[in-house]
Amino acid sequence: MGTILSFLFFTGLVGLITYLRTHNDKLHTAKGYFLAGNSLNGWVIAGSLMLTNLSAANFTGMTANVYGSNLSPIAWTVTVVPPLIYFCAVLLPTFLKGGFTTIPEFLENRFSKSTRRLIAVMFLFVYILSSMPAALYGGAIAINLLFDISGSFGLSNETVIWIVVWSLGIIGSVYALFGGLKGVAISDTLNGIGLLVGGAFVLVFGIYEVGDKDFFVGVSTILTKNTRILDAVGDVTDGVPFSILFTGMIIHNLFFWSTNQFIVQRTLGARSLKEGQKGVMLTAFFKILNIFYIAFPGVIVYHLYGGNHFENNDWAYPTLIRDIMPATFVGFFAAVIFGAVLSTFNSVLNSAVTILALDIYKPIFGKNLSDHEIIQRSKRFGIIMAVITMVIAPFIMYFPEGLFIFMVKVDSLFGGPIFMVMLLAYFSKRVSPFAVNLCLALFVLVYGAVMFWIKPELHFMHCMAILFVCFTGLALVLGYFFPHAKPERPSIGPEGVDVTPWKHFKWISILATIIMVGTYIFFSPLGVAKTDGSKTIEYGIIITGLVFAFALFGAPLLWKRYSASKAG
């Protein structure tokens, strides 16, 4: 009873506060509904970004991957720091100055309407087929295990998953469709506070149990026994080989954190560039802290249960909570996971509605409609998308590759090509709409064939990096021989948005980078991860990756600065 009451209390509290904060907001305008009226501060943006990114798939999936191998999966959370810095310094000022609402809108400004619609359709495809169903399905697994719904009511796991998926989907749709972006952001922030508190308790109580009721003995045990699980430098036998950090993962993180609509939309709702940069950099630190919330529990589970304890490693995290925490706290943390699932679902749904309404419906069918009419019709489309998602989600249980890897593969299938278009839009003055549309379509087709049909021995992230270079090069060659003049971007931002940069941005960026590098050194054979044998890192691959990273981050910036000085 305590579990259920604490769950209902925290969930109801989040809903009540969100309603009180948004029920008087002006949601009849496009700016108010889709961008929260440019009213979000740095802390709300950070909380929303963090919870938007997290779902039960992250909790169960990453904990399971760490438990089954080592800490190498932290690459998915720690290495986002450079992409976030890049986004703050390069893309966010441009987005806010131009007053853009969606990423496809920005791309039309550089290329053409066909590019905008093509990118919009790709975003909708990945959201409806992967992001939203995965969030609901992962949440259904976690809620079922924490409350033992199937055992308590004598229902099959399949039946419970269908019931919980639809329950989560309906509640998430209410947040997303009737509260707009601000309702999503506020509920995200409240759930984020719960996540920080709940995750800290799981970490502390878990270490306490490892030490046999002594926290400091638990710390000593983790740092001195079976330390191979603390190694974050993965090899080819691990889930995340270290070499992909310098190739495909850079591109994947750049897409996810600087181009993905349902992430970027939070920053487009910032009240100023300063607050947007604050929120993004706070997110960078939170992402590093995620090691202790969604990765380190895998280490704790390994010490408490030993290896190969579970029939399915995805059961590790909810089992840990259920076994070591009081019943009241289990309900509270179930509410936090419930909130994290809703956050991902309603955030993606809100962004999907935004793209469908502003990038597809309004330009084609609603040119003469008011903002209010567009919003009302977009809500109807949102209901349809939510229902489709809730139908698709339960069938993920039949996918043979597993939830987490499936999400990453689908994201990378579209993410790499979309970020290629963004990079060309920002730095190239000659590539034409035809060239970029051709390379975009070829990239998706070839990469899809490589992942799902050809299946080479090379890691799919390396394949994405190779194809990224090839098709970016092809677009530049076509642009050289068949140049296209780039239109000027708008220089005046939306009314009320101050585009003065945050004065502390540079040193905060340096600090975040130092902490990122230090984290990898600490969780490596150079730090606490003492392995049985010497681990050989392929230095040639690392050097190649560093050169590639410079080409992706540094060279365009240097070229832009050189061009500006030459023009001046």
pLDDT tens by residue, 25-58: 444 444 444 444 455 777 878 877 776 676 666 7
Non-local (6+) Cβ contacts of 8 within 8 A are 331, 335
Residue 272 pairs with which residues in a beta bridge? 498
Residue 164: C-alpha distances to residues 142, 149, 205, 266 (Å): 10, 10, 28, 27
pLDDT value of residue 265: 75
Q: What is the mean pLDDT of residues 143-167?
A: 85
Q: Between 552 and 64, whose confidence is greater?
A: 64
Question: pTM value?
Answer: 0.78
pLDDT band at 286 (very low <50, low <70, confident <90, very high): confident
Residue 536 has a pLDDT of 45
pLDDT over 90 (residue 420): yes
In the chain, where are the structural domains located? 2-537
Q: Is 40 helix (H, G, I), strand (E, B) or coil?
A: strand
Query: What is the per-residue burial (b if ≥16 Cβ within 10 Å, else e) of 518-527?
Result: ebbeebbbeb
Would the pLDDT of 460 be above 80? Answer: yes
Task: Say how far apart CA 192 and CA 197 lie, in whole Å.
Answer: 9
Q: Which residues of 100-139 are buried (b: 16+ CB within 10 A; e: fewer)?
A: bbbbbbbbbbbbbeebbbbbbebbbebbbebbbbbbbbbb
The pLDDT score that the predictor gives to residue 566 is: 53
Please give the average per-residue pLDDT across 259-266, as a whole number. Answer: 79
pLDDT band at 307 (very low <50, low <70, confident <90, very high): confident
Question: Who has greater pLDDT, 560 or 210?
Answer: 210
The residue assigned the tokens 């697994």 is 141
What is the residue whose two structure tokens read 């309404």? 357
Q: Pick the range with the lowest mean pLDDT from 214-228, 424-438, 519-533.
A: 519-533
**Which are the contacts of 82, defined by CB distance < 8 A and separation ≥ 6?**
250, 253, 513, 516, 549, 553
Which of the listed ranges 82-96, 190-204, 260-274, 389-403 does the model predict with the highest average pLDDT? 82-96
* Across 93-97, 118-122, 193-197, 254-258, least confident range: 193-197
CA dist 210 and 205 (Å) reads 9
pLDDT, greater one: 466 or 488 = 466
Q: Given this model, what pLDDT does residue 564 score?
A: 54
**What pLDDT, in 10s, does the model give residues 91-114?**
888 888 877 777 888 888 888 889
What are phi and psi for residue 487, nearest 5 degrees?
-70, 155
Most confident region among 222-226, 313-317, 374-378 by mean pLDDT: 222-226
Band the pLDDT of 531: cuts 50, 70, 90.
Answer: low
Confidence of residue 333 (pLDDT cuts 50, 70, 90): confident
User: What percent of the chain is predicted at pLDDT more than 70?
Assistant: 77
Predicted pLDDT of residue 537: 46
Asked if the model's pLDDT at residue 397 lies above 50, the reply is: yes
Work out the angle at residue 449's Cα, subtended by the Cα atoms of residues 444 and 455, and round it to the nearest 5 degrees. Answer: 130
Mean pLDDT, residues 289-311 taken together: 88
- The CATH topology of domain 2-537 is Sodium/glucose cotransporter (1.20.1730)
Question: Alpha-carbon distance 265 to 254, whole Å?
Answer: 15
The tokens for 508 are 């905060």
Percent of residues, the chain, with pLDDT higher than 90: 16
* Residue 357 per-residue DSSP state: I
Mean residue pLDDT of the chain comes to 78
Task: Quote the pLDDT of residue 471.
Answer: 96
Higher pLDDT, 47 or 504: 504
pLDDT digits (tens, 9 = 90+) for 534-562: 444 444 445 445 555 555 555 555 555 55
Query: What pLDDT is stored for residue 62 in this prediction?
Result: 82
| pLDDT (average), residues 376-381 | 75
Residue 183 clears pLDDT 60, i.e. is over it: no
What pLDDT was estimated at residue 533?
A: 46
Residue among 545, 34, 518 at smallest CA distance from 243 = 545
